[in-house]
Amino acid sequence: MKTKGGTFVRNTTLVAAILAAPISGFAGTLQVSPINIEAIAPLSTSTVTLTNLEGKGVINSQVRVFKWTIVNGQEKLSPTKDVVASPPALVIKEGGNATVRIVRLLKSSATTEETYRLLVDEIPSAPTKGTQAVAFAVRHNIPVFFTPAGLTSKLNWSAKITKGGVSVSATNAGQRHARLASLQIVGNGETDSFNNGLAGYVLAGGSNAWTIKSKAIKSGSSIKIMAKGNDGPIEATVQVQ
């Protein structure tokens, strides 16, 4: 089988982002752990640890929680009062760390999976007179799930030829999110891969799509879709429309 590295273009992306903002002064290195939060009911709280690694000074951070949805393949963050981060702002000393609590304020336990995003922003220090260094504003964008026990995802796949190549879509008919990594398709003797990392999420009741630039796959042909999911390996065979 001939293997060819393809290029996937995701319709939506909400992964940890690095936002460069040139200013004077130094910045620490902010690390957030874990990078995926899932609280199984009846749990209503979780925590993340913020660490100032190899810093040359303190780190000022802002922490916020937003409701997370995916509508028609477009990801959206909306203000929410149902889940909060405490404390919402903090200062981390060089080489130190701090704990942030993620608290679900609703009194009743979750009956369906609830999806949020935790944004952790490093706020660069004010410019220091006479310094020529460059500081970087860093944003960590972390998925947060409050999930009843025993839920699973159920993906239904489809594929079609588009102007950009082949569009592969997944609709989640299950009750739990699907986290996809190492997404690839096999067809006409070729294997086209996105990469070995995170491809994205398909939330419960939602859908997501990816486009691969491939000339080998034609309308009417069959392709195999493979990925690593949070509920186990994923493999499906579909006919390209």
Q: Could you tell me the residue ranges of all domains in the chain? A: 17-147, 152-239
Q: Which CATH architecture has domain 17-147?
A: Sandwich (2.60)
CATH of domain 152-239: 2.60.40.10
- Asked, colleague to colleague, whether 17-147 and 152-239 share their fold, the answer is yes
- Which pLDDT tens digit goes with each residue over 195-209? 678 999 999 999 998
Q: pTM of this prediction? A: 0.79
Closest CA to 65 of 160, 141, 152, 123: 141
- Which pLDDT tens digit goes with each residue over 109-167? 888 999 999 999 988 766 566 555 555 568 899 999 999 999 999 999 999 988 868 88
**In this structure, are strands 37-40 and 137-147 parallel, antiparallel, or unpaired?**
parallel
